Structure 1
């Protein structure tokens, strides 16, 4: 009988699910706070069910001699060292959709609160004052709501806002016109949203692309009198710039559930009369806590008893038999998707995947999921192979799959083509007999490129001096090249280079390459190898 430790507070219903399924369970909800004691006993368990209090570090994993699966009741896994878990062979699961409605409702509640100054009015009235004339609010009716992020939670907020008879505009790089029409919202670019919105709600993960998406510069572009709501992630807003805008009156109000540093015990935003703040309560309802707890218990039980994998962050949803054969191909599929995701800035309409030869006979659903996850990770690092197809569907991204018999030099290969509003971008790859994935074609140009963690892609016209400029620039800036592949369509026409580097490419290198005037495009790439 497998044995699971629950080291954080979890619903009793969830604990009973383990027992009903035939899994032995120890419910010790305060143990997660005692890392020494946890390390002493973790070796007894096959599974560890947690929330946010337990920190699963590399040191703890070293002591977890029998651990097979970690289940996080909730979406965030900042408290789990996933690379260390992967090296240890431990699956990490989460429950990405269990608190979507709750978080969306909290955003709507914050919008009402800041529109009608409800917290300040409540404090005043509790104090025995009757300041009816002091609290003059605004209606939501007929106002424009700007959604930054139109995924699962954002789409729920849009639905509720439309029910309030608001107009909704949305900015999301993955939102297609078709999906926007289905949602009843107008798809816009960020600058247009900033200029039009009376209220703005944020529903994006924190990534390099979204960090300070409401920067000082973008806050200056906002419509005067706007009200801002953030129940997504701290770090999406420049809090100092927001405080300045609130104090000058350019921003009429803000409601924040999340902060750049948490727990937030001090901030310039605190005690401003036009600011509503809550302590990261987005997922804090009894229903949401129950939902994610039940889901994690069911997922962990299924894996421990049958080998079924769901919502895993570091393993594909395939059977044990398939994993041995498909593992390298799943990794290749993710790399192909990641390449295109990092190269594509425009909204994606469709992803087309061609499976040729031996790979066409495999479980392509898992391969498709790996491709989609790779494409979308550039914008959302929380995406995994299970959640990626759902997220893509929510954004109206179409997936087309083609299988064909072996048609060329390779026993099998995968070709991924992404279609945006104005262009197509494609890449193909294969797995050699050594089990290592390779890129074999980019933009229709044949290459043979080993895939490394840090890479550089360039595009240019095939003219003399390009290779010299590339080598000299990287050499002068201390960048060492591990592998260098070139390709071209024909003499004097389009040419590409893809380089495998020893370390991450410093940002000044790209600027230096562009200044040479020899490159049409140069982009640093990163792959999870």
Structure 2
């Protein structure tokens, strides 16, 4: 059955057609986004939800969406989506961070020019029939120092454009490498130095606890007298009341704001101040940007629903379509390893340690880790998936670590998973053979070679005669067919294990007969999703 997607906000017909062309069953009804009750009534039918800013995806909406797998936001901001609630429900939330990067960067440059030359005020004056040529004395951008706070996608484009305008650019961004700074033609500095040097400051960072009021009253006092400040990123990055005071005192010469702490902004301390240019969140409002983000979200959602590729997700590691094809068997293996450990662990888990050996250590380890954690958590919570499992593990206080190493054994690559509880540490390793099938290769340090089946039986015992006979005879007498039988031991007469691949689950009565022999320490049925 084709995946079903609801488009509840205005997307272009071209974007909607992308869903159709990819074989998606799409419903295009922009009226639903503004009608919470209608959305609540229909969302349960859909696998995907494509939105802009009108649709509000609340916890209540998510609770009514048992089939929902992905929410796609055509644009950058996802303030209208309850991401923690989506993560707990296992719903991927993706946005389109690159579709409007150029547009937003250009708007920042436009505001900077408008503030520098007082264009809006001069325009209004001239429209009023005045000719106040001497009133509007501006400043040049050439040779001025631009301080860019945040040199990511949009900030990087602003840097590039500013260098083209022959400005000197300094950038503050903890994640900006010296190599990228050199490539952009900017100087990397700390925030205090940027504040002291910049003639213009433009912000291009997300709103987080660390960036909220990054231009506070205290930091505004550190700026050069006569500075001009531009914000096209997020409201709340600048203390608007403190900036208004700085503008009134003359310490700040001008400001250009496209975003506000409260939106829609019908009142702000910045309104009606001279040389303050304000626009109603127009950063992404160009024909090209609106079309780009709509097309991008349609492609991303289709890729995920049809092939498992994850792009620009905010609560899940990204996996390209090519990675999804190459990594598919390894993701399945990681999930099987987790399922094995999870089904055998009865005590609270304290830590999960994952070792990636050889070629697999160069793959997308975030995605593989999510698959392994999901496999473990499903043992006690069948509703978790790769999105929600890490959230569940974190809530339970589980410490997760990973290690990589070069090829160290006979296999080109393998994954080893260890689960630590208060009383013990349980480990299992596996690899993927050339046929693409996952195999278990080690349990409790004992070497084996076991194909993974939907129905399996795991036993542990002392290495003594009669084990194979007891297993075979008990299964045979009770009509349970063994598809594959794998044995392993540590040393002669020491620990031994058996892993049986069965055509159907072994009934409880059969398992109890095996336990009653007194030959086995453990007799545990296992189930794996091999679809």
Alignment of 1:40-119 (within 5 A): 40-119=41-120
Specify whether residues 179 and 279 from structure 1 end up closer, same or farther in structure 2 by C-alpha distance, changes over 3 A only.
same
Is the Cα–Cα contact under 8 Å of residues 219 and 242 in structure 1 kept in the other structure?
Answer: yes
Q: 2:406 aligns with which of 396, 403, 408?
A: 403
Structure 2: how far apart are the matches of 1:370 and 1:112? 48
Partner of 1:246: 247
Deviations 1:219-260 (CA, angstroms, capped at 9, x unpaired): 111111110001111111111111111001000000011111
Deviation at 1:118, TM superposition (A): 0.8
Partner of 1:34: 35
Deviations 1:356-394 (CA, angstroms, capped at 9, x unpaired): 9555453643216899xxxxxxxxxxxx9xxxxxxxxxx
Tell me the SS of whatever aligns to 2:170. strand
Partner of 2:360: 362
Deviation at 1:313, TM superposition (A): 2.3
Moved more, 164-173 or 358-367: 358-367
Structure 2: how far apart are the matches of 1:304 and 1:131? 60
Deviations 1:430-485 (CA, angstroms, capped at 9, x unpaired): 74277xxx9xxxxxxxxxxxxxxxxxxxxxxxxxxxxxxxxxxxxxxxxxxxxxxx
Deviations 1:405-425 (CA, angstroms, capped at 9, x unpaired): 27xxxx967xxxxxxxxxxxx
Structure 2: how far apart are the matches of 1:209 and 1:35? 33
Structure 1: how far apart are the matches of 2:330 and 2:289? 34
Tell me the SS of whatever aligns to 1:200. strand
Deviation at 1:401, TM superposition (A): 7.6
Larger radius of gyration: 2
Deviations 1:81-109 (CA, angstroms, capped at 9, x unpaired): 22322332322221121111111101000
Partner of 1:495: none
* 1:432 partnered with 2:391: no
Is the Cα–Cα contact under 8 Å of residues 13 and 294 in structure 1 kept in the other structure?
Answer: yes
Is the Cα–Cα contact under 8 Å of residues 147 and 168 in structure 1 kept in the other structure?
Answer: yes
Structure 2: how far apart are the matches of 1:321 and 1:44? 30
Alignment of 1:313-328 (within 5 A): 313-316=314-317, 317=319, 318=324, 321-326=329-334
Structure 2: how far apart are the matches of 1:322 and 1:76? 33
Partner of 1:222: 223
Structure 1: how far apart are the matches of 2:184 and 2:68? 43
Tell me the SS of whatever aligns to 1:432. strand
Tell me the SS of whatever aligns to 2:208. coil
Specify whether residues 220 and 322 from structure 1 end up closer, same or farther in structure 2 by C-alpha distance, changes over 3 A only.
same
Is the Cα–Cα contact under 8 Å of residues 5 and 49 in structure 1 kept in the other structure?
Answer: yes
Specify whether residues 370 and 313 from structure 1 end up closer, same or farther in structure 2 by C-alpha distance, changes over 3 A only.
farther
Gaps of 5+ in 2: 339-352, 370-386, 388-402, 426-531
Is the Cα–Cα contact under 8 Å of residues 307 and 320 in structure 1 kept in the other structure?
Answer: no
Structure 2: how far apart are the matches of 1:143 and 1:369? 45
Specify whether residues 85 and 357 from structure 1 end up closer, same or farther in structure 2 by C-alpha distance, changes over 3 A only.
closer
Structure 2: how far apart are the matches of 1:226 and 1:328? 59
Specify whether residues 7 and 224 from structure 1 end up closer, same or farther in structure 2 by C-alpha distance, changes over 3 A only.
same
Specify whether residues 163 and 369 from structure 1 end up closer, same or farther in structure 2 by C-alpha distance, changes over 3 A only.
farther
Normalising to structure 1: TM-score of the pair? 0.64
Partner of 1:309: 310
Is the Cα–Cα contact under 8 Å of residues 51 and 74 in structure 2 kept in the other structure?
Answer: yes
* 1:256 partnered with 2:253: no
Normalising to structure 2: TM-score of the pair? 0.64
Specify whether residues 192 and 433 from structure 1 end up closer, same or farther in structure 2 by C-alpha distance, changes over 3 A only.
closer
Is the Cα–Cα contact under 8 Å of residues 5 and 25 in structure 2 kept in the other structure?
Answer: yes
Deviations 1:100-128 (CA, angstroms, capped at 9, x unpaired): 11111010000001001111111111222
Alignment length (residue pairs) = 365
Partner of 1:234: 235
Gaps of 5+ in 1: 331-354, 372-383, 385-399, 414-429, 439-529
* 1:178 partnered with 2:179: yes
Deviations 1:32-84 (CA, angstroms, capped at 9, x unpaired): 11000111111222211001111111211122132222111112222112232
Partner of 1:476: none
Structure 2: how far apart are the matches of 1:192 and 1:327? 49
Moved more, 58-67 or 310-319: 310-319
